[in-house]
Chains A and B, each alone.
Chain A
Amino acid sequence: MIATSTPTTRQDEQRSRRLARPARFVAKNGRLVLAFVILAVLLVVYIERVPQFGAREQRSVVNQGMALTTAGFGQTVVVLTGGIDLSVGSMVGLTNSVASRIVDDESIGRVWLAAFTCLAVGALGGLINGLIVAYGRLQPIIVTLATSSVFSGIALYVRPTPAGDFPFEATQFWTGSMGFRQWPRGIVWLAALIAIWLVFRRMRLATRIIAIGSSEGAAFMSGVDVNRTKVVAYTISGMAAGAAGFYLTAQTGNGNALAGTAYTLNSIAAVVLGGASLAGGSGTFLGTIAGAYIIALIPRVLFFYDVSQFYQQLLQGLVLLAAVGLGAIGILRARNRLDKV
């Protein structure tokens, strides 16, 4: 892949120094801001049209993007290292199948066991990805493509056909409303993810991950254990996909080996919409949240505007291309023609 770097000429720097602080933030994080603007517009348009934006609607909006946001957490971490995880979707499908095997209607006590098993299975899969990428010195895009085939094969052994009955009480707990003003419980999970991110961002691990994504060679020369850091990043991604798989089980009530298929590319789309650079080294989970909810809201908005669902994919693709295209306009202004190559 051609390494792209945002050209920062001296003029750019001088211009951004002259700007006031909020304006400077917008200029520096254009795509991140754009993602939140798109999300806000979608939300306003949606609430405008929905007959009554009550507890039920709030709940389904929050739940709709929850699994993708969770999976996107891991994808963000891997993309920050300059890598990519194409096995996210099949890991979601695998953990979804595993969870539906552990819990059934009679065994509500085992829900927590299922949650931890999903995290463990995800972490194990991610660990394998990381070990192969780091110590095998192979390209992540093709490694995770191969392991994704393995994961979905295992998932098909665990759940050959979609089935399972996740107890309704557990679904209520994970995806229902809270006592406090009937707020959706999903907000708690979302807040927890953000808290984890904020803590993670202040850890030395995050600095190492971003250092690797910015320049692997430089990180190595400054004493970063590149291999170990990569292994941890992929393990986090697997674990996040496992959590997403568990949430999906709680949400849909059953297990389906192929349930995760869309999550691979959607999680990448969410990360990119959120302003992260696929070349690594820059990006934030907060942007990924916006990206994931943009993707989740589009079909709901179309539904309430009586637009045929056939337009859903078209709109999603155009929003993705428009967002990255707008973010790329700076390239066209580059003075140096070499920067345009």
Chain B
Amino acid sequence: MYDTLRRLWADDESWMGRYRTPLIAFGLILVLLVISGIRQPGFLSFGNLRQQLVVATFLGTVAAGQTMVILTGGIDLSVAWSLNFAAILFTQTIGGSDDPATIAFGTVLALLSGTMVGVFSGIGVAILKIPSLVATLGMNTVMLGVTLVYTKGSPQGLAPAFARDLAIGRIWGVLPWALVFWAGLTALMIAILKYSVFGRRVYAIGNNPRAAFLSGAPVRLTLIGVYAFSGLTAGMAGILLAGYSNNTYLGMGDAYVLQSIAAVVIGGTSILGGAGGYGGTVAGAILIVLLQNALQVAGIRPAGQQILYGLIILLMLFVYGRSAKVRE
């Protein structure tokens, strides 16, 4: 039994070998649950775990787009303010109205604004060849500016009932709608990445853009699509977060830039692109949220939380992030 498992683990072709890194991440989640469960029995209560999963949904949504961008070998720093602007556009357009048409209009507008931010970053990266770090950093600063000009510093409006239900409502009082949404998004992500031509092109570009181009993949169009998708998921997260806190404020997306990157990397996706997937990112997002909650419950000050958080990411990187030695 043990020998069989070890052989499966070492074999890159077997199911265990292929999902090694997500399995490590899920294993770490279990370890974390056991340790904090022993220290603080309330941590393992159904209510708390469900609550943490809902919080992880927001991170997981942003990290869905981030996963795709990182798979192509890029990085998206613009999620913070494309999320924030989409959320503010959402509440300000609807402005507390109950009219279904207004609500639908606000929702479409919010999702569209996120997507457009992604399209612009994508054009910069794919056509102008600006490094993704700079293109998305620039777009982020522009969106911060747009938000400030648009709101004059004080965002208005409340989230409509459907957004509140989506973020905090539960089916029959048990199953949160947010988790249903996340499950759907996960299924969609896995379907796109594993079974669609687009998804295979994403991996091909991440491995070698020139080789992908020479084999006939529309590299530039795919890249623009990937960044647009990242903007779209940032917009979705904006709507969810607006529903969760019932209003919008400046800076609500700031934490999500670094956390989404960390979730992707902890989930085993290579920061250089071409290898990984969304299943690992889901584990990464849950792990980050649970870790923060566990540190909070253990009564560690925010300063200590940050130190441990950084150290744990480093540790995870050492477990499976090392690249080959330079030889040539």
Contacts and interface: CB of A to CB of B under 8 A. Distances in A.
Interface of A: 1-2, 4, 84, 132, 136-139, 141-143, 145-157, 160, 216-217, 220-221, 226, 265, 268-269, 272, 278-279, 308, 310-318, 320-321, 324-325, 328-329, 331-332, 337-338, 340-341
A121 to B, nearest CB: 15
A192 B255 CA distance: 37
B138 A137 contact: no
Contact of A341 (B74, B209, B273): B209
Contacts of A160: 303
A139 B261 CA distance: 13
B310 A316 contact: no
A2 B209 contact: yes
B261 A157 contact: no
B57 to A, nearest CB: 23
Quick one: which of A1, A143, A145, A340 has the most chain B CB within 10 A? Answer: A1
A224 to B, nearest CB: 10
Contacts of A324: 124, 128, 130, 134-135, 138
A141 B142 contact: no
Interface residues of B, number: 65
Interface stretch (B35-43, B101-109, B190-198, B317-325): B317-325
A273 to B, nearest CB: 10
A139 B321 contact: yes
Interface string B305-324: 11111110110011001111
19 contacts: A1-B273, A2-B73, A141-B271, A142-B261, A143-B317, A145-B261, A148-B310, A149-B309, A149-B310, A156-B306, A220-B327, A278-B133, A314-B141, A314-B148, A315-B145, A318-B145, A320-B134, A331-B129, A337-B213
Interface string B273-289: 10000000000000000
Contact of A142 (B77, B127, B209, B313): B313
Given A149-B309, A328-B129, A338 B303 contact: no
Given A152-B306, A338-B210, A341-B213, A313 B141 contact: yes
Contact of A311 (B149, B258, B262): B149
B328 A221 contact: yes
Given A138-B323, A338-B210, A317 B313 contact: no
A321 B135 CA distance: 7
B307 A138 contact: no
Contact of B134 (A149, A272, A311): A272
B265 interface: yes
Contacts of A337: 213
Given A314-B145, A324-B135, A226 B261 contact: no
B113 interface: no
Interface of B: 73-75, 77, 124, 127-135, 137-146, 148-149, 152-153, 209-210, 212-214, 219-220, 258, 261-262, 265, 271-273, 301-311, 313-314, 317-318, 321-328
Nearest to A331: B129
A310 B148 contact: yes
A106 to B, nearest CB: 27
Given A310-B153, A331-B128, A338 B214 contact: yes
B138 A317 contact: yes
A151 B306 CA distance: 9
Nearest to A328: B128
Contacts of B74: 1-2
A1 B213 contact: no
Contacts of B314: 132, 143, 146-147
Contacts of B75: 1, 141
A337 B306 CA distance: 46
Nearest to A219: B326
A310 B73 CA distance: 33
B272 A1 contact: yes
B237 to A, nearest CB: 20
Given A138-B321, A269-B137, A321-B138, A153 B326 contact: no
Which residue of A149, A226, A312, A314 has the most chain B CB atoms within 10 A of its CB atom?
Answer: A149
A4 B129 contact: yes
A99 to B, nearest CB: 18
A142 B317 contact: yes
Name the 5 nearest CB pairs between A and B, nearest first.
A314-B145, A317-B141, A149-B310, A153-B306, A156-B303
Contacts of A141: 75, 133, 271
A2 to B, nearest CB: 5
Contacts of A320: 134, 137-138, 141
A325 B130 contact: yes
Nearest to A150: B310
Contacts of A221: 328
A141 B220 CA distance: 24
A165 to B, nearest CB: 22
A1 B73 contact: yes
Nearest to B81: A313
Nearest to B316: A146
